[in-house]
Amino acid sequence: MSSPPTIERAQVRANFQRAAANYDQAAVLQREVAGRLLERLDWLKIQPRRILDLGCGTGGALADLARRYPQAELVALDLAEAMLQQARRHEGWVSRLRRRRRYLCADAAQLPLADDSVDLVFSSLTLQWLDDPAPAFAEVFRVLRPGGAFLFTTLGPDTLRELRQSWAEADGFHQHVSPFLDLHDLGDALLRARLADPVMDVEHLTLTYDSVRALMHDLKTVGARNASAQRPRTLTGKGRLARMVAAYERHRDAEGRLPATYEINYGLAWMADPKPPPPLDTLPGAIPIMAQRR
Ligand SMILES: C[S@@+](CC[C@H](N)C(=O)[O-])C[C@H]1O[C@@H](n2cnc3c(N)ncnc32)[C@H](O)[C@@H]1O
């Protein structure tokens, strides 16, 4: 039996460290999705004092967050220091003078923030890089104040389906593309973390390309390299690559373009007021129920 796919965090960090300098040139989808997520803040009647941008990347959302909530302190957090350096570079001098922004290099699963210290956790296209969202959701639970909100986007399993299919046709191997969690698993994980009233929805966006090479180049530039532990470790032979490209060519649309589908999952959950006790298995020293049974 094959083991479930896992994502290697060290590899994710290395990929984004390398991508930081040129990320913005190719991050068309990321900008679009972050923009759509920011618009959803219009629905929320909150006045956050502190906002966490979880996986802020080069900081594309920070200026908008600062404009919407001028009184709030912004905490920009990312696993890759080089991404944070870019984000800091983009910060205007007015914002620097106001000193309402902090940059933290840390893992979403281990936030260097105090309990009940954040009113809004905003996160765009980061959660798909976590092997398991549960530890990060437990951290979101821990740091959110009563009444706080968690608003995020992540990628669903339909993402890059043309590429996945084309590789499968070329060599029968599916792990060329990172695995993605589906909407229901995410909703369940939010509830298990005791985040309240989760609402999830999905939309499909399609980017089109002249060539498979252009798509692969964009993926590489934004750091979206395969980080699954089961990814192929050997160099891809020319024959297999050519077979994959030939398979992808069959997706060419009426306008002569090659589509790349992205399944965008949007999520919103709240911290109940009063805050419930944390889930039992996240308390220090707690033994997960499954382990107790054995
Ligand atoms: C696709 S980028 C999105 C960046 C930004 N939110 C945007 O919309 O442009 C994903 C970001 O998540 C960060 N990331 C990945 N895994 C992470 C983790 N475990 N903890 C914190 N950040 C992480 C990466 O370093 C990268 O900057």
DSSP secondary structure of 123-168: EES-GGGSS-HHHHHHHHHHHEEEEEEEEEEEE-TTTTHHHHHHHH
Pairing label, strands 144-155, 258-270: antiparallel
Q: Please give the pLDDT value at position 245.
A: 96
- Taking alpha carbons only, the member of 95, 96, 147 closest to residue 118 is 147
Pocket test for ligand 1, best of 79, 84, 127 (most atoms within 8 A of CB): 79
130 in ligand 1 pocket by Cβ < 6 Å? yes
CB 41 within 8 A of CB 66: no
In angstroms, what is the span from residue 83 Cα to ligand 1's centroid?
8
In angstroms, what is the span from residue 90 Cα to ligand 1's centroid?
17
- Taking alpha carbons only, the member of 60, 110, 63, 113 closest to residue 83 is 60
Q: Please give the pLDDT value at position 99.
A: 81
83 in ligand 1 pocket by Cβ < 6 Å? yes
The residues pairing with 53 across neighbouring beta strands, listed in sequence order, are 76, 122
Residue range 9-158+181-209+260-272 in CATH 3.40.50.150: yes
Paired tokens of 42: 């219009």
The label of the residue with tokens 């530890």 reads 135
In angstroms, what is the span from residue 239 Cα to ligand 1's centroid?
33
110 DSSP assignment: B
For residue 157, cis peptide bond before it (omega within 30 degrees of 0)? no
Apex CA 96: angle with CA 82 and CA 139, to 5°?
Answer: 55
In angstroms, what is the span from residue 272 Cα to ligand 1's centroid?
27
In angstroms, what is the span from residue 79 Cα to ligand 1's centroid?
7
Please report which residue ranges of the chain form alpha helices under DSSP H.
9-19, 23-26, 28-40, 62-68, 81-90, 93-98, 133-143, 161-171, 183-192, 212-221, 238-249, 289-293
- Taking alpha carbons only, the member of 233, 268, 5 closest to residue 131 is 5
Q: Report the predicted TM-score, pTM, of the whole model to 2 decimal places.
A: 0.92
Looking at ligand 1, which atom is closest to the CA of residue 23? 9
Q: Please give the pLDDT value at position 157.
A: 94
Q: Please give the pLDDT value at position 291.
A: 40
Q: Please give the pLDDT value at position 1.
A: 39
Other C-beta atoms closer than 10 Å to the C-beta of 51 total 28
Determine the 3-state secondary structure of 6 from DSSP. coil
Distance separating alpha carbons of residues 65 and 55, to the nearest angstrom: 14
Domain boundaries, the chain: 9-158+181-209+260-272
Pocket test for ligand 1, best of 12, 22, 83, 126 (most atoms within 8 A of CB): 126
- 67 contact partners, CB below 8 Å, separation of at least 6: none
Rounded to 5 degrees, φ, ψ at 202 are -135, 145
Max Cα–Cα distance, the chain, nearest Å? 60
CA dihedral sign of residues 86, 88, 91, 92: negative
Determine the 3-state secondary structure of 246 from DSSP. helix
Distance separating alpha carbons of residues 83 and 128, to the nearest angstrom: 17
30 in ligand 1 pocket by Cβ < 6 Å? yes
In angstroms, what is the span from residue 288 Cα to ligand 1's centroid?
28
131 in ligand 1 pocket by Cβ < 6 Å? no
pLDDT averages per 10-residue partition of the chain, 294 residues: 69 95 96 98 96 98 96 97 96 84 97 98 96 95 98 96 93 73 93 96 97 95 78 68 95 96 98 88 55 39
Q: Please give the pLDDT value at position 238.
A: 74
